[in-house]
């Protein structure tokens, strides 16, 4: 696959769950009508971002991978339109719950499950209340329109996520997201930082990056004082981190861009960043405090 037409989307969600799904489907149809082959929807697009609060009633929203009506509906849609759809959903697996993603290929097959690796916990982002840390490892999928590497929201802040996906052969990095205002830090606007972090992943790995966020204000069901405004700003950037397309903060819609994956792959080869890696020097990454590498150097210097 050389030329890829890729789209990213953003929309507001409410507790009218049918409306959320209908909106998402219409965005997919609109993108496909404009020639998109891979279409990215935002994190947990079927519901409001219920992690704004801690309330066990929201566990009822979870669906099993093989029995999810949401996944079936959008897999059928992918087959009908001949497009590839990365799909973020709330997964129940036995007694465990995960923030998960699958890819519906252009023939409607679901290609497997990725479970979000990094689970945040902050005021307004109470994901540890609902999700266990992912146990699948990072995933890269061969789809009808390219080799797709995926992470989910908080994953996108970690350079290890992007580098692992790059080493696994991803041709494009996809990050569905739910991020906006910070109820615990009212003066913080992380939009530019959020974008720059992912654009850095693109430049460091010489891979294009696509992010989808949500828009609108959402209010906790148990406390109307707890609310968040999501800042949209979904974007597509090239393999050097340059913005190719960017959505607004408040308006739903979609972005479409053509990427020359073959030309980007050739440029990756010319840089030698994978050739010159030194994995044996990265032991500090294997622990939480970096002490492995310090202990090694102290022993050698004694």
Give catalytic residues, as residue numbers.
43, 116, 153
Q: State the Cα–Cα distance between residues 286 and 132, nearest whole angstrom.
A: 21
CB contact set of 266 (below 8 Å; sequence gap of 6+) = none
CB contact set of 57 (below 8 Å; sequence gap of 6+) = none
Specify burial of residue 66 (Cβ count, 10 A radius: 0-12, 13-18, 19+). Answer: exposed
What six digits make up the tokens of 4?
Answer: 């890829």
Q: State the Cα–Cα distance between residues 191 and 207, nearest whole angstrom.
A: 21
- Pairing mode, if any, of strands 38-40 and 146-150? unpaired
| SS3 (DSSP) at 87 | strand
- With b for 16 or more beta-carbon neighbours within 10 A and e for fewer, the 192-224 pattern comes to eebbebbbebbbebbbbbbbbbbbbebebeeee
CA torsion, ordered 245, 230, 51, 114, to nearest 10 deg: 0
CB-CB contact of 43 with 300 (8 Å)? no
CB-CB contact of 197 with 156 (8 Å)? yes
* Locus of tokens 């590497």: 149
What six digits make up the tokens of 94?
Answer: 């036995």
């Amino acid at each position: 696959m050389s030329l890829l037409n890729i789209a990213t989307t953003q929309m507001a969600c409410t507790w009218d769950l049918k409306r959320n799904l209908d909106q998402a489907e219409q965005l997919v149809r609109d993108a496909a009508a404009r020639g998109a082959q891979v279409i990215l929807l935002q994190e947990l697009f079927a519901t409001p971002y219920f992690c704004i609060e801690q309330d066990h009633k929201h566990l009822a929203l979870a669906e099993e991978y093989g029995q999810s009506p949401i996944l079936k509906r959008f897999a059928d849609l992918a087959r009908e339109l001949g497009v590839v759809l990365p799909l973020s959903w709330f997964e129940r697996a036995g007694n465990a719950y995960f923030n998960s993603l699958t890819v519906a290929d252009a023939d409607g097959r679901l290609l497997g499950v990725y479970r979000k690796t990094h689970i945040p916990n902050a005021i307004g982002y109470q994901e540890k209340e609902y999700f266990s840390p992912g146990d699948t490892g990072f995933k890269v999928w061969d789809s009808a329109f390219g080799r797709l590497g995926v992470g989910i929201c908080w994953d996108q802040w970690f350079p290890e996520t992007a580098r692992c996906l790059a080493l696994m052969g991803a041709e494009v990095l996809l990050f569905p997201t739910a991020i906006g205002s910070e109820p615990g830090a009212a003066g913080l606007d992380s939009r530019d930082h959020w974008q720059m972090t992912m654009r850095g992943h693109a430049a460091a790995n010489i891979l294009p990056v696509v992010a989808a966020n949500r828009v609108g204000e959402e209010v906790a069901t148990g406390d109307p004082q707890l609310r968040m405004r999501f800042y949209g700003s979904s974007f597509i950037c090239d393999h050097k981190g340059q913005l190719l397309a960017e959505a607004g903060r408040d308006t739903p819609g979609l972005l479409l861009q053509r990427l020359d994956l073959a030309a980007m792959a050739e440029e990756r080869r010319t840089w030698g960043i994978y050739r010159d890696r030194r994995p044996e020097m990265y032991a500090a990454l294997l622990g939480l405090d970096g002490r492995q590498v310090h202990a090694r150097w102290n022993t050698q210097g004694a």
